[in-house]
Amino acid sequence: MKRNKTSDHRIVLLTKQNTPFRVQSEDDRILQSTKTGDYHNMLDLASVFVGSEQILYVSSINQGFFVVHSDMTITELNCLGDALKIIRHTEFKSKRLEIKFIDGGEGNVWIVTKCNRLFNYGSDKIFKQKGKLLNDSNVGQFTEASCEFLWDEDDFFEETPIKREITHFSCGRYHTCLAVNRRWAYGCGYSSFFQTGTKSATDTEQFAQSYFHVDGKCQKEMKHTIKELYCGRYFTLILSDNSEVWVTGSNENNQIFASKSYEYYHKLDVFQNVLRAYACKLGYHSMVITGGQQIEKPGPFAVVANGWNDNGQLGTKHKNESEMFSYVDLPQPLTQHSPDVVNLEIYPIFTRTFFRYKSHIYETEKNKGQLELELPFKFSFLDDVKIAGGSEFSLIVATEKHSKMIQYFFRQLENSYRNRHVSDIEIVVTNTAY
């Protein structure tokens, strides 16, 4: 990366408007945007991005993004309305709480700390997806939620109680799922499509235990340990440590690679030796990367997708709705069944999917497969890259491995629902405490 002489923090906004905008910083300085190449609005935001230079996590909700720095400060990019607001959260740093997971859905975001405390941020309580809060929820503040599910009453009668910790965490649109000790799964929130795996279509406020279909029986504990867990819009996907894919929830558009819906976790027979699996948390599609030879197609070392494809988010030029899978048209020089596909990083969002291969980023485009995304900065194959997105915006964060310089690329998606133009930025600083 080429170092920015004025700052190590830069955020780029790409809009459909050619007119520059003014930005008011914390100290009342006016920051002027500039035109660089095809990007009409490039802005140095060094004075408003806080925290250490290392980015740990980037997560998105439907109206913005949350960037977690290594010193536990959080930078929120709030896209609600016609302005992009940059909000600083310092309460986790001040309380010396280390963040282990962060994820969000429709209007609210969850945080899990390393000491297994849960916090929720947001004002939307529809479908009970905010969980059972310990205190009243205040808009603009993180509120702690109950962790009663971590304590089993049988433990009190054990000489050495089992230590329980949250090992996986993911949010869908209106539901949230997690794993405890890589063995048990729990779900909270919207459950009309059985996406929480609790065998109930009733929404649950407190995290309830999910079930697995193992050897013809329904049981609470998974046969193998959980390697990955991802929530989709109306489904949840688990990858086990023995490379099996388990799903629960709606099969609409074959988004779970199955011909029917499941009310609790079932193992998919279509795949074996799966290396990685992905679910689009706000959308209706999922993807897997296979390893060794399958019983039948798709074969070894394949990138396979299925689900909703109205915007070409599967990365396929053609889609056969009757199939349980579709091969992704991979960017050059990758080819299906090549061992190099294991180096592909996949980021499915609502209307498209991003792919990172070495020092390049590609995105799906309707009827065109994948096209390389031109960024206003460069990064190497060693650098850390995180990509998040919602229904209207995407955010790409790249951190240079040696200098820790951070580059941000924020963009409105062309096929967003409202076709809004983010032409103003408002700087908002909050120092909340719970």
DSSP track, 276-332: EEEE-SSSSEEEEEE-S--SSTT-SS-EEEEE--TT-TTS-S---TTSS-EE--PPT
Q: Which residues of the chain have pLDDT under 50?
A: 1-48, 50-51, 419, 421, 423-434
Helices (H) and strands (E) in the chain, counts: 1, 35
Cross-strand pairs, 398: 385, 407
Distance (Å, whole) CA 163 – CA 308: 41
Whole-model pTM: value is 0.86
Cross-strand pairs, 166: 180
Distance (Å, whole) CA 82 – CA 398: 26
Q: Nearest Cα to 390, choosing from 62, 41, 131?
A: 62
Write out pLDDT tens, residues 357-414: 999 999 988 777 788 988 877 899 999 999 998 877 888 888 888 777 777 777 777 6
Type of residue found at 61: I
Alpha-carbon separation of residue 372 from 111, 114, 157, 301, 359 (angstroms) = 33, 37, 58, 22, 11
Both tokens of 198, joined, read: 């609790």
Write out pLDDT tens, residues 12-22: 444 444 444 44
pLDDT number for residue 4:
36
**Sign of the alpha-carbon dihedral angle for 261, 262, 267, 269:** negative
pLDDT number for residue 115:
96
pLDDT number for residue 137:
64
Torsion region of 199: left, alpha or beta (phi above 0 gives left; psi -120 to 50 gives alpha): left
pLDDT number for residue 126:
73
Distance (Å, whole) CA 201 – CA 189: 10
Q: Nearest Cα to 328, choosing from 361, 294, 363?
A: 363
pLDDT number for residue 295:
72
pLDDT number for residue 82:
59
Both tokens of 275, joined, read: 């290396």
pLDDT number for residue 153:
60
Type of residue found at 175: H
